[in-house]
Amino acid sequence: MITASYFTAAIVVMAVITFISRYFFFTTSFQIRIPPRIEALFVFTAPCILIALVVPIVFQAGLAESGEIGLLSSSYFWAGLLAIGLSVVIRQTLLVIILSMAGFYALRSFGLS
């Protein structure tokens, strides 16, 4: 049986692992040299994290109600597609965010769930 002390221990272990992994990047006594090819991959870290956070929200909102049909009537889904399309056409991130949010609220006001 999983108890509260199990969860506490798991959180402490995760905190220690996170601290150790970040400590090595910020300490001056221990230098890590990252190859340029690996460093170039860090550019994709933020978009990957954002996608990992957003995609479950987009699909859960539509699929939780009535399957594929519910997905097509979900304002989250259509606003997500709008954001993808705008980001391809417009290269300014803030403008894409503002227009995507406006599109989402417009879809919500027209009655999409």
pLDDT tens for 13-36 read 999 999 988 887 777 677 777 888
> Tell me: the pLDDT tens digits for 39-48?
888 888 888 8
Residues 27 and 41 placed together within one structural domain of the fold: no
Whether residue 46 sits in one domain with residue 96: yes
Contacts of residue 109, defined as CB under 8 A and 6 or more positions apart, other chains included, come to none
User: Residue 11's pLDDT is what?
Assistant: 92
**pTM score, two decimals?**
0.58
Task: Show the domain range for 100.
Answer: 36-109
- 23 and 58 in a single domain? The answer is no
Q: Are residues 64 and 20 in the same domain?
A: no
Q: Domain check: are 8 and 52 in the same one?
A: no
Give the count of beta carbons closer than 10 Å to the beta carbon of residue 82: 20
Structural domain tally of the chain?
2
